[in-house]
Structure 1
Amino acid sequence: MSEEIAPRIAFQGALGAYGHEACLKARPGMTPVPCTTFEGVIRAVRAGEADLAMLPVENTTYGRVADIHRLLPESGLHIVAEAFVRVRIALLARPGVALGDIKHVRAHLVLLPQARRFLEEHGITSEPAADSAGAAAELAASTLTHEGVLASAVAADIHGLEVLARDIEDQEHNTTRFLLMAPDIDLTRRGDTMLTTFVFEVRNIPAALYKAMGGFATNGVNMTKLESYMVGGSFTATQFYADIEGHPEDPPVRRALEELAYFTNSLEILGVYPAHPDRSED
């Protein structure tokens, strides 16, 4: 009798990364699959090496994650849920090392400025690393006693490091939003408040975007996100990424999307999924 394989969820980074923490929080029963790049996460799901992808899309401090909106429409995957992870930064070191021993830290380039006040207060210098969780693994394998890593407490548990200080980030509200993506779209109503995410490219006519957005206003549909980005290396081809509240079968949403389609060259729904309870808190 063959052994049943546990469902798997892919994320970008090493074990202990914030993407790993998002997986543990959102899908604790699934086996995390670390990948080097966002493209690798997508490939893992498309190749059947993972069942879900966990991809970060935006952060309350730094805005949208670079390149992610370009990757989502090309991924062939669909959004089935969202997750929020409060970015809690911890100072990690090898066992037996005290805070006063730490002179230098490594962390992902984005993470370092978020703990600037703590580092300055303790006279600790810093340098960027490709990945904070990866830096934690490297530190655990070393004999360094004057170097630390800024990462999640999850990374400390995984790599056998000690947490010398917790919640050292400058901004208490710092939160990253992740999207869970699967090969097939799920159009069932799975929550009281549903969200619909789609991408579209407006036609090259005067005031096309203004007219396209009019249907959402007149039908009372709340648009929570609208972002633009260039496609195909052209300054004239602009694609838009949008999140709205509601399900495509809701009459107001259906009317708004029909009006939007009239003013667009392309329109693709990336996912229909329930709003996470943490959404109202961020």
Structure 2
Amino acid sequence: MSKGRIAFQGELGANSHEACTTLYPGWEPVPHGTFEDAFEAVKSGDCGLGMIPVENSTAGRVADVHHLLPSSGLKIIGEHFKPIHFQLMAQKGVTLEELTTVTSMPIALHQCRKTVKALGLEGRAAGDTAGAARIVAEGADRTVAALAPALAAEIYGLDILARDVEDEHHNTTRFLIMTAETNPPAPAFTAPCITSVVFRVRNIPAALYKAMGGFATNGVNVSKLESYMEDGAWSATFFYAEVDGRPEDRNLARAFEELQFFSEKFEILGVYPADPFRS
């Protein structure tokens, strides 16, 4: 794939920005204020790819994304598990002893609460980790620090006073790489793959039980199954699932055949290599 532009939600220096540069060095990371804007940038062709966080090992799923994903019109071509590390950063020359306040998004403050407490700092909520770093850099208050990725310190000219201050060092975020291509190239045949699908079961008794039975009888692992409201209806009949394998694999093909028999809607959102992090 030729080098181009890759969309992400957040400001320059965010974890999503770091994920973009890790997987697609040489591509231009393009920040967007909302997930809707990032999806639209890919859908419109302004960006060739999107780097979208979907879940975190500590905080759980990213709710906004899971509502947008099934109706985005985009396809999934990859996944990336990124260990999340927060750095305590402040203006040039500031020392730890000068600090009284630390700012970041609430989830970052929560994930670094032991360090914040140990330093006797007051937490101040911000909308984005990288945005908090930018605000510290642009401000005049030397008593305020930010919790943000290391890239933010580099971009906004801040000093890192303490590294990797998160309470849980296994903290990891999973990203999906999205494209507007209707039929993206298939992954290498030798690579273990994940297939993502959305479906809506028929309105019959035990429909979900019957629809999912084919995965058990055919020995297919279902790694994720989540229900969603659709069009404001108070019924859990719309589902997003991730399964091991490719649609052309005999066992998975049989499972999908049974799933479709008990479903009103079925769509494959992507077939992509499993990140080695899974193993």
Are the equivalent residues in 1 in contact too, given 2:45–2:180 (CA < 8 A)? no
Which residue in 2 is equivalent to 1:188?
186
Which residue in 1 is equivalent to 2:102?
105
Shift in Å, 1:132: 1.3
Q: Which letter maps to 1:115?
A: C
Shift in Å, 1:203: 1.2
Identity of paired residues, percent? Answer: 51
Shift in Å, 1:67: 2.1
The 1-side partners of 2:26 and 2:197 are apart by: 29
Q: CA RMSD in A?
A: 1.2
The 1-side partners of 2:253 and 2:156 are apart by: 50
The yes-or-no answer on 1:218 pairing with 2:217 is: yes
Q: Which letter maps to 2:175?
A: F
The 1-side partners of 2:108 and 2:52 are apart by: 17
The 2-side partners of 1:122 and 1:165 are apart by: 11
The yes-or-no answer on 1:23 pairing with 2:28 is: no
Shift in Å, 1:110: 1.4
Which residue in 1 is equivalent to 2:40?
43
- Per mean C-alpha deviation after superposition, the further-off stretch among 100-109 and 174-183 is 100-109
The 2-side partners of 1:42 and 1:104 are apart by: 35
The 1-side partners of 2:244 and 2:55 are apart by: 18
Are the equivalent residues in 2 in contact too, given 1:14–1:131 (CA < 8 A)? yes
Which residue in 2 is equivalent to 1:242?
241
The 2-side partners of 1:64 and 1:189 are apart by: 26
Q: Which letter maps to 1:93?
A: A
Shift in Å, 1:189: 3.1
The 2-side partners of 1:273 and 1:6 are apart by: 20
Which residue in 1 is equivalent to 2:276?
277
Q: Which letter maps to 2:215?
A: F
Q: Which letter maps to 1:173?
A: H
Are the equivalent residues in 1 in contact too, given 2:35–2:64 (CA < 8 A)? no
Of 150, 155, 175, the match for 1:153: 150
Which residue in 2 is equivalent to 1:261?
260
Q: How does 1:56-95 map to 2 (within 5 A)?
A: 56-95=53-92
Shift in Å, 1:207: 0.9
Which residue in 2 is equivalent to 1:205?
204
TM-score (norm 2): 0.96
TM-score (norm 1): 0.95
User: Helix, strand or coil: the match of 1:163?
Assistant: strand
Which residue in 1 is equivalent to 2:52?
55
Shift in Å, 1:236: 2.1
Q: Give unmatched runs, 5+ long, in structure 1.
A: none
The 1-side partners of 2:209 and 2:44 are apart by: 40
Q: How many residues align?
A: 276
Q: Give unmatched runs, 5+ long, in structure 2.
A: none
Shift in Å, 1:248: 0.4
Q: Which letter maps to 2:197?
A: F
Of 120, 133, 136, the match for 1:136: 133
Shift in Å, 1:175: 0.3
Q: Which letter maps to 1:277?
A: P
Shift in Å, 1:107: 0.4
User: Helix, strand or coil: the match of 1:29?
Assistant: coil
Shift in Å, 1:206: 1.0
Q: Which letter maps to 2:254?
A: R
Q: Which letter maps to 1:242?
A: A
Shift in Å, 1:187: 5.1
Shift in Å, 1:6: 4.6
User: Helix, strand or coil: the match of 1:192?
Assistant: coil
Are the equivalent residues in 2 in contact too, given 1:186–1:272 (CA < 8 A)? no
